[in-house]
Amino acid sequence: MSEVLAIETRELSKRFGAVRANDGISLQVGKGTVHGIVGENGAGKSTLLKMLFGFYTPDSGDVLVQGEHVSFVNPADAMARGVGMVHQHFMLVEPFTVLENIILGAETSSKLDEAKEDARKALIELEEKFGFDLPLDEPVENLAVGVRQRAEILKALYKGAEILILDEPTAVLTPQECEQLFELVKLLREQGKTVLFVTHKLHEIMATTDDVTVIRAGKVVARRKTSETSCEELAELMVGAKVVREVARESHGATAARLSLHQVNACNDQGHAALKNVSLDVHDGEVLGIAGVAGNGQTELLEVVTGLRGIASGSISFSGDVVATDSITTDPITLRRMGMAHVAEDRLKTGVVESMSAKENIILGYQREPDFVSRGVLKLKHIAQKAADYFESQDVRPRNPNLEIGSFSGGNQQKVVIAREIARDPQLMVIGQPTRGVDIGAVTKIHDQITELRNAGKAMLVVSADLDELLAISDRIAVMCEGEITGVLPVEDADEKTLGLLMAGGSLDNVTAKEEE
């Protein structure tokens, strides 16, 4: 390549213990281009980025920025060379204002007020150039996710970033916010910035980038010009085998509602309304998918259904029995006994006890069932036997239930959790983020399993932030925005655009109206 490279790495390697996270990665990013990096979860993208940003130091290999050898010891070094990064989890101090967050670490004066005024002047110019309009004096905790992301980008620009690394930037955005982001990325390129766009969503690569590098298992497996490749090719390269995905879905006749929510209102932990007049039915033999941008009430919905949160008004009935009203809450143990299973959306935070063995985790939630305990004493032998069975049937690796659950990979943890939840032949499965943090091989298996259960006549309620996933497995999709159900539609009628409008708070009426225009 003869063009000037903004970033180049040569044979970059990093290992953690026995794991080679990056194994001789060579990357060339042309100046003023948008360069995509794709790879599965765990392919080594994050490690690469962290080395480019000075968070990790490489074991071997070279990094060149604007043609010069660099060795970053910390992020400050990287920023001094014009490398800025927008992390997947925003690096923002919540109670601070946008302005305070932007100047943190780049204050022009030791007196805070002076530093703020200096920055304010500089930011007006920057905002104009890149079309930002941020509430500089608003605490970040009051802002929507998309706005926070723009604050992060502005922060990097303020600190003199010429090269901007965006790590999975769309994970938390609505489709419309994504579009805005893509626009911004184009604008950045027009203004001469270089953008490294890291994602595992292929259509985003196709929509935004000039070049793309595919990473698998710590190695570069392909470099392409975006214009000369396709989603299908990239997918194959990412996974290493042709992806064939077709799950036979049997059709059922109409059945009675297994789970029914009627005008449910509930508050979140801060006491604000999180669910507003939510009414939903889930029938036997169907998968009802819940779509929405994270934080729009999906978590609370899962919680009220599974007995973890009380409701302020309305009612929930399960298998014909009323299980929740403003004065009734049914505890999770009773609900499980009634035939409800729950795969928690945040596995490590809620679904397992990380520091306990897999064996101890297989009784979580079922620790009072008579086959696991008699007269208050645990039946350890039986529990060990069950654990071994689960490991066998789900093909969990390594095949040792005595290891701490936290030491298994995300996919294997999820297999253990699913084995635990389906063991008692539940009538309703409530599943949050079925494949979050799960490698692609296991994703397929989990999707198949969900479909099998559906085909077996179980009612399934699935919340996911991944629209592709919901489109693949659901019979109907309900969309949530700010605690309300903005629409429920059969999967045949659902496409990304319609769902996106509903996720942004539109209603089905004006969606159709728009289409008619």
Partner 1 sequence: MEFFADLVLLTDSTFRIATPLVLTALAGLVCERGGVVDIGLEGKMLASAFAAAASAAVTGSPWAGMAAGIGASILLALLHGYVSISQRGNQIVSGMAINIAVAGLAPTLANFWFQKGGQTPLLGDEARFSTITFPFAESLADVPVIGALYSEILSGHNIITYMTIVIVPLVAWMLYKTRFGLRLRAVGENPEAVDTAGISVTLLRYQAMVIAGVLCGLAGTVLSTGLGAGFIRDMSAGKGYLALAAMIFGKWKPVPTLLACLLFGFVDALQGRLQGVALPLIGEIPVQFTIMLPYVLTVIILAGFVGKIQAPRASGIPYEKDH
Partner 2 sequence: MAAGAKKLPFWADAILLPALNLLAAFLVSGIVIWALGEDPFLALSLLIDGAFGFEEAISYTFYYATNFIFTGLAVSIAFHAGHFNIGGEGQAMLGGLGLTLAVFLFSGLSPFLAVIMAIIGAALFGAAWAYVPAYLQAKRGSHIVITTIMFNFIASSLLAYLLVGPLQRPGGQMPESADFPEGASLMPLHEIFGMFGKTFEDGPMNVSLIIALLCAVGVWFLLWRTRFGYELRVVGQNPNAAAFAGVSVSKMTIIAMMISGALAGMMGLNELLGQQHRLLGGFTLGYGFVGIAVAFMGRNHPVGIILAALLFGALYQGGAELAFEMPTITRDLIIMIQGLVILFAGALEHLFRDPVTKIFTKIQTTKEGAA
Q: Which two tokens stand for residue 76?
A: 């400050």
Q: Whole-number minimum distance, CB 310 to partner 2, in Å?
A: 12
Bridge partners for 357 per DSSP: 404
Size of the site for partner 2 (CB under 8 A): 37
User: Is residue 439 a contact residue for partner 2 (CB under 8 A)?
Assistant: no
**3-class secondary structure, 102:** helix
From partner 2, partner 1, none, which one binds at residue 111 (CB under 5 to 8 Å depending on kind)?
Answer: partner 1
From partner 1, partner 2, none, which one binds at residue 109 (CB under 5 to 8 Å depending on kind)?
Answer: partner 1
DSSP sequence for 302-355: HHHHTTSS--SEEEEEETTEEEE-SS-B--HHHHHHTTEEEE-SSIIIIIS-TT
Bridge partners for 461 per DSSP: 288, 430
User: Is residue 355 a contact residue for partner 2 (CB under 8 A)?
Assistant: yes
User: Is residue 45 a contact residue for partner 2 (CB under 8 A)?
Assistant: no
From partner 1, partner 2, none, which one binds at residue 243 (CB under 5 to 8 Å depending on kind)?
Answer: none
Residue from 277, 319, 329, 407 touching partner 2 (CB under 8 A): that is 407
Residues 226/204, Cβ–Cβ less than 8 Å: no
Size of the site for partner 1 (CB under 8 A): 29
Residue from 8, 23, 360, 469 touching partner 2 (CB under 8 A): that is 360
Q: Give the integer Cα–Cα distance in Å for 434 and 449.
A: 11
Of the listed pieces 18-26, 69-77, 288-296, 316-324, which binds partner 2 according to CB under 8 A? Answer: 18-26
| Single-letter amino acid code for the residue at 357 | S
361-380: which residues touch partner 2 (CB under 8 A)? Answer: 363-365, 367-368, 372-373, 376-378, 380
User: Is residue 305 a contact residue for partner 2 (CB under 8 A)?
Assistant: no
From partner 1, partner 2, none, which one binds at residue 53 (CB under 5 to 8 Å depending on kind)?
Answer: partner 1
Residue from 217, 308, 312, 504 touching partner 2 (CB under 8 A): that is 308
Dihedral, 30, 31, 34, 37 alpha carbons, nearest 10: 40
Residue from 15, 24, 59, 106 touching partner 1 (CB under 8 A): that is 106
User: Is residue 91 a contact residue for partner 1 (CB under 8 A)?
Assistant: yes
Q: Which two tokens stand for residue 92?
A: 């923002």
Q: Which two tokens stand for residue 15?
A: 């290992």
User: Is residue 85 a contact residue for partner 1 (CB under 8 A)?
Assistant: yes
Q: Which is nearer to partner 1, 106 or 504 (CB)?
A: 106
Of the listed pieces 58-66, 90-98, 123-131, 246-254, which binds partner 1 according to CB under 8 A? Answer: 90-98
Which stretches of 332-474 are DSSP H helices? Answer: 332-337, 358-361, 380-394, 410-422, 440-455, 467-473
User: Is residue 352 a contact residue for partner 2 (CB under 8 A)?
Assistant: yes
Residue from 217, 267, 353, 384 touching partner 2 (CB under 8 A): that is 353
Residues 259/469, Cβ–Cβ less than 8 Å: no
User: Is residue 497 a contact residue for partner 2 (CB under 8 A)?
Assistant: no
Q: Which of 87, 192, 293, 294 is nearest to 101 (CA)?
A: 87
497-512 as b/e, with b when 16 or more CB fall inside 10 Å?
ebbbbbbeebebeebe
Q: Whole-number minimum distance, CB 460 to partner 1, in Å?
A: 32
User: Is residue 84 a contact residue for partner 2 (CB under 8 A)?
Assistant: no
Q: Which of 119, 69, 63 is nearest to 96 (CA)?
A: 119
Q: Which is nearer to partner 1, 112 or 241 (CB)?
A: 112
Q: Which two tokens stand for residue 421?
A: 């939840």
Dihedral, 405, 406, 410, 416 alpha carbons, nearest 10: 10
**CB-based contacts of 444, cutoff 8 Å, min separation 6:** 245
Q: Tally Cβ neighbours within 10 Å of residue 513.
A: 11
The secondary structure element, H or E, covering residue 481 is strand 476-481
55-84: which residues touch partner 1 (CB under 8 A)? Answer: 55, 74-77, 79
Q: Whole-number minimum distance, CB 163 to partner 1, in Å?
A: 15
Q: How far is CA 433 from the centre of its chain?
A: 8
Residue from 11, 19, 69, 95 touching partner 1 (CB under 8 A): that is 95
User: Is residue 270 a contact residue for partner 2 (CB under 8 A)?
Assistant: no
115-144: which residues touch partner 2 (CB under 8 A)? Answer: none
Q: Which of 15, 12, 14 is nearest to 64 (CA)?
A: 12
Pairing of strands 476-481, 313-318: unpaired
Q: Whole-number minimum distance, CB 20 to partner 2, in Å?
A: 11
SS (H, E, C) 47-107: HHHHHHCCCCCCCEEEEEECCEEECCCCHHHHHHCCEEEECCCCCCCCCCEHHHHHHCCCC
Q: Whole-number minimum distance, CB 22 to partner 2, in Å?
A: 13
Q: Give the integer Cα–Cα distance in Å for 269 and 135.
A: 26
From partner 2, partner 1, none, which one binds at residue 336 (CB under 5 to 8 Å depending on kind)?
Answer: partner 2
Residue from 69, 111, 203, 424 touching partner 1 (CB under 8 A): that is 111
Q: How many CA atoms lie within 13 A of 129 on its CB side?
A: 14
Q: Whole-number minimum distance, CB 309 to partner 2, in Å?
A: 9
Q: Tally Cβ neighbours within 10 Å of residue 270.
A: 6
Q: Whole-number minimum distance, CB 60 to partner 1, in Å?
A: 19
**Which residues would be at the binding site for partner 2 (CB under 8 A)?**
16-19, 21, 306-308, 331-334, 336, 342, 344, 346, 349-356, 360, 363-365, 367-368, 372-373, 376-378, 380, 407
Q: Which residues bind partner 1 (CB under 8 A)?
A: 53, 55, 74-77, 79, 85, 87, 89, 91-96, 100-101, 103-107, 109-113, 115
